[in-house]
Chains A and B, each alone.
Chain A
């Protein structure tokens, strides 16, 4: 069964450094998402992406964040200058089409900012 994959599974970085989290959505999916989950808190929506542009973003998704689909398979989340509070589990999700309501999630990348 096709699945969403994410790399790396864990990343440790220094405050102020840039990080890129990578996701490979399910191959025929067209809508892509990033979520984060700070330890002990709920999963929070960050951004949705369709047709090579951002569809929606939350207030969390500020200028430090960016997303990109650099090729036909990858979907990346970049944090330009990481802060301690960016430490979280980041989930990528995808779905096939506009009328499909179910998002399929990857295993997550655990980011630790020191």
Chain B
């Protein structure tokens, strides 16, 4: 069965520090992988996605993620966090038709000055 695990419910980092949010997936075929961000009162905004090719993908707002098939992981990274990055982050896996998305439980990021 398809599933997505985000092991960290909540992470706190200092502004300017690096960030890594973990995501592991279980999917029978080659997955389509996504990271979405949800700011308070906002919808889910797409940060980046991986379909094929280069396993290191760049997204908006300075985020990147690396697909590691051997580890079934798609971790999100940012070298220097800004206060405005405080939000809820969701990892998702989608099927090839783009019709079924499976989300993780999310990681809440707090950024301290």
Q: What is B's interface to A at a CB cutoff of 8 Å?
A: 4, 32, 34, 36, 41-46, 49, 51, 90, 92, 94, 96-106
Name the CB-closest residue of B to A4.
Answer: B43
Q: Is the CB of A48 within 8 A of B99?
A: yes
| Residues in A whose Cβ lies below 8 Å from that of B44 | 43, 91, 93, 105
Assuming the contacts A101-B94, A102-B34, asked whether A42 and B49 have C-beta atoms less than 8 A apart, the reply is: no
Q: Is the CB of B103 within 8 A of A56?
A: no
Q: Is the CB of A102 within 8 A of B98?
A: yes
Q: Is the CB of B46 within 8 A of A101?
A: no
Assuming the contacts A95-B98, A100-B98, asked whether A42 and B43 have C-beta atoms less than 8 A apart, the reply is: no
| Residues in A whose Cβ lies below 8 Å from that of B105 | 40-42
Binary CB contact string for chain A from 88 to 114 against chain B (1 if under 8 A, 0 otherwise): 000101010011111111111000000
Q: Is the CB of B100 within 8 A of A101?
A: no
Assuming the contacts A101-B94, A103-B98, asked whether A44 and B103 have C-beta atoms less than 8 A apart, the reply is: yes
Q: Is the CB of A45 within 8 A of B43?
A: no
Task: List 7 interface pairs A-B (beta carbons < 8 Å), by A numbering.
Answer: A42-B106, A43-B103, A93-B101, A101-B49, A101-B96, A101-B97, A101-B98
Binary CB contact string for chain A from 42 to 74 against chain B (1 if under 8 A, 0 otherwise): 111100100000011000000000000000000
Q: What is A's interface to B at a CB cutoff of 8 Å?
A: 3-4, 6, 9, 31, 33, 35, 40-45, 48, 55-56, 91, 93, 95, 98-108
| Residues in A whose Cβ lies below 8 Å from that of B94 | 101, 103
How far is it, in angstroms, between the C-alpha of A3 and the C-alpha of B42 when the chains are bound?
A: 12
Q: Is the CB of B43 within 8 A of A91?
A: yes
Q: Is the CB of A107 within 8 A of B103?
A: no
Say how far A28's CB is from chain B's closest CB, in angstroms: 16
Say how far B31's CB is from chain A's closest CB, in angstroms: 11
| Residues in A whose Cβ lies below 8 Å from that of B49 | 101-102
| Residues in B whose Cβ lies below 8 Å from that of A44 | 103
Q: Is the CB of A107 within 8 A of B98?
A: no
| Residues in B whose Cβ lies below 8 Å from that of A41 | 105
| Residues in B whose Cβ lies below 8 Å from that of A48 | 99-100
Name the CB-closest residue of B to A42.
Answer: B105
| Residues in B whose Cβ lies below 8 Å from that of A93 | 44, 101
